[in-house]
Each structure stands twice: as C-alpha cells, then as structure tokens.
Chains A and B, each alone.
Chain A
Amino acid sequence: MAEETKEMNPEIVGFACSFCTFKASEMAGSLRLKYPEGVKLIQVPCSSRVDPAFVIKAIFEGADGVFVAGCHPGDCHFIKGNYYTRRKIVALKEMFDAFSMKDKLRLFWVSAAEARRFIDKVTTFYNDIKEKKNEREKA
C-alpha cells in the first residue's frame, strides 16, 4: 500500500455569472454531462461582482485554481459588466504572472446555451491543474 503514490485531486473554485455560466452548468446537469467533482461553483449576480480579492482569498485558503466565467462581451445582462471583468481579470493575471503563478487563474466566456463548451473548458482546466499538481508532488 505504501508503494502506491496517491493521486492528488485538486480543488477548483469557479465564479459563475448567474445569467450565463451558471445557467450553462445547470443545463449541463439536465443533459447528464459530467464535470470533475473538484470544481466548486459560486454563483455571482454578474462576473464583475468578482472582486480580485475573492480570487486571491480563494487561492490562499487552499484552492488549486480559480476561474471566473461570464457572458460573452456584449451579452451582459447588465449591459457592460463583463467589460469591467475583462479589465480586472487581465490585470490580476498580469499580477499573478509577476509572482509566477499565472496558471492558477483563468477567465472564460460561456453563454447559457453552451453547456458542452462549459464542460470542455472546466475539464481542461481541471486536468491541467491536476497534472501540474501531481508533477510537483513527485518532485
């Protein structure tokens, strides 16, 4: 038993806009599509509600990765919320880049109809984080 290396399962926190990405995740559920159990979604009224402080807090409280997801630019329920998100998250990514942890944060645009795209994006992110985490564990 001791010889076998245990696979690390990462925890991912996702901030999902309640009008697009959260709807997409619900649709994925009704289509019986699966996404990794380690992904925890937090519903926010708009992706611009996400203060970068939330992201930093999530990472330092133990999340291995964080994603922020909202409507496509121009489709925001509140007209222009996701344009602000884009600026904020791009700046936050640049800051994470300065601290050599850019791979921990991603930004997606997923509309309410794109259940498969949501599954695809989330699973790719989860697998990338898992790969990196297991590599680090071995080293």
Chain B
Amino acid sequence: MTAAPAPKIDPAKMHPLKEYKHDSPLIGCRFDPSGQFVFAGAQDNNVVRWHLESGKKTLLTGHKSWVRALAFPAKERILFSADYAGRILAWLAGAEEPKPAYILDAHRGWVRALAVSPDGTTLASCGNDQLVKLWSIPDGKLIRELAGHVCHVYNVVFHPDGKHLISADLKGIVKVWDLAKGEAERELDAKILHKYDPSFQADIGGVRGMACNADGSLLACAGITNVSNAFAGVGNPLVVLFDWASGKQKHLLQPKVKFQGTAWGVIFHPDGFLVSVGGGNGGMLWFWKADDNKDFFSLKLPNNARDLALHPDGRRLAVPFFDGSVRTYSMEAPAAKSFGRHQGNSVAV
C-alpha cells in the first residue's frame, strides 16, 4: 500500500491551526530544524519554547532585554537568540531545560538580526552600533567586523551561494559583502523603506524583514513606505524585490487592499511565492508571486503581527503577536476533523 500523496500547498486554503499563549507581547519567532518546536522572543526578556504537538511551554531565561532575533543552523538544534542589550545567547534548543551554552557580548546597543551561514559554521549579527559581525559557531569567537553602515543595521542574511552576506539598515541601504575579502562589494537601493519625517524630525522605516530565495536569484526587503505621519505609524507595508544578478529592483510588492502598518517579516516559500506579515492597524498575511506586484491572497489576522516563520515541512507558518500568542497556520485544505483542545498552553483555533 502506497502512502497518500501529501496535500498540495495552497495559500488560498490557509487556515489557523493552534494558538500558543504567553503573558507578554511577542516580537520574533522561528521553528527549530526538527520541526518539533516553535520559539518566540518576548518583551519580558524571555525566549519561549512550545512543543508544537503537546503545547508544552518552556521558558529560556537569561536575556537582559527584549528578544527579536532568533536563528538556527539548517541542520542543528542550536538556537541563537539576541537581545536589545547587545547580547547573543546560544542554546541547545532540544534540552529539557535549555541553558545558555555561551553568551556573546556582541554589540553596543540592540542586536537587530541574526543569520546562520548555509554551511552552518558562521553566525552573523547586526545592530545599532552600525556594525555587522561574524562569529564562529563552534566556539563563539569573533571572526570579523564589517563596518560601513552609517546608521542602525536592521537586518542580515547570508546569500545561498555562501560567499556573500547581505546587510540592510534603517535608511534602506542594502550592502552586499564579499565574505572572502570582508569588503562591501556593492549596494542595493531600498531607500523607499525609509523616510526622514521633517514634521517630527526623525527617521522612520528600515529593512524590518529580509530573505533570499533558495537559488539566490531574488532578494526581498520588507518594511514601511508612504509614511505621512511617523509618530502615528501612518504608512503602508511594502516588500522590495531585487534581482540579485543586476541588483535592480524587480517589483514593489504591495497589498492589494490598503493596509496601515509595517511589513515586519518576509519569507520565500520553496514553491516560489513570497509571504509577508504586517502589523499596525491590525495584522495581515500577504502572498505574492515573484512576477506580480499585487498579492494573490491575503489573510486578516486577529492581532498585530510582528514576525513570520516557515515550518521545515513548508506547510505551516508561525506568527508571533502583540497579544502574547504564537499562532500557527496551515497552507493546506483543512482536515475534515477539527483539532481538539490541547493541554498546556496551546489551543486549537
């Protein structure tokens, strides 16, 4: 007897799966590579781990400030989490009661983002000290500092070729670094995601989410644009899609239905479409094809969303919310039988 073919992934069939509750607003999340757990960074300085099936909740304590940046090597259950006090903590993510394996005093001020190299040996971090740093994962030693940004560095990702690192800042400057030389090779222009608001005399924007597609031919940068009132957050989410080879903007991906807020995260699905999550005046998920600047599907979320993660099975998404929940969503048609209520801290939704 052969196994039934897996259901086709179809964002239009998107539906909520489970809700995992914490008592503090959540600002970042990631699945572990085994797909057993979802981890979220919280405004109470904790990292929270939930077992997806049982809903068992475990607190990873040790940070001194809010945690937004979370990253895993592709094949290992080592969690790197970073806080707004400038520290990076490495955890054995599957341990019964995870403790920090090592702690890095990584940046002066906020660590904004983390990324792990495709070969799993190097961790990249960036922060408000305008620096990008490379760390050896086995021993936590600093490999190199990459200086050149002139404002807070908001995001960092490795290119799938393993030879380039991409960093992006508050003002929408995207730098492509040659890792062998440790030099900035070129810049991409995502300045549309930044504005200096003369009324409030302050900068708003920045590259809040960033991702490459699997073959490295596309780069997506997410944030806010069209800002008319910085201090009320009046603007619209936008994903800037770059052609990697030319470095030119390929598409400006916008919601079909106008939304006020920021695109806080963006991912490429292995099937080729992009997903972004927005928070501001509520929460939304949007789905785009790489060749169309209007979303082909969107889903209204129950609260302000802050980040987005794709499960290793490619079928589930996790979204952390202001209301302290991580909610998971399926991109398949709902099963005929509904999920029951789980013990612990998760419920079917």
A binds B: no
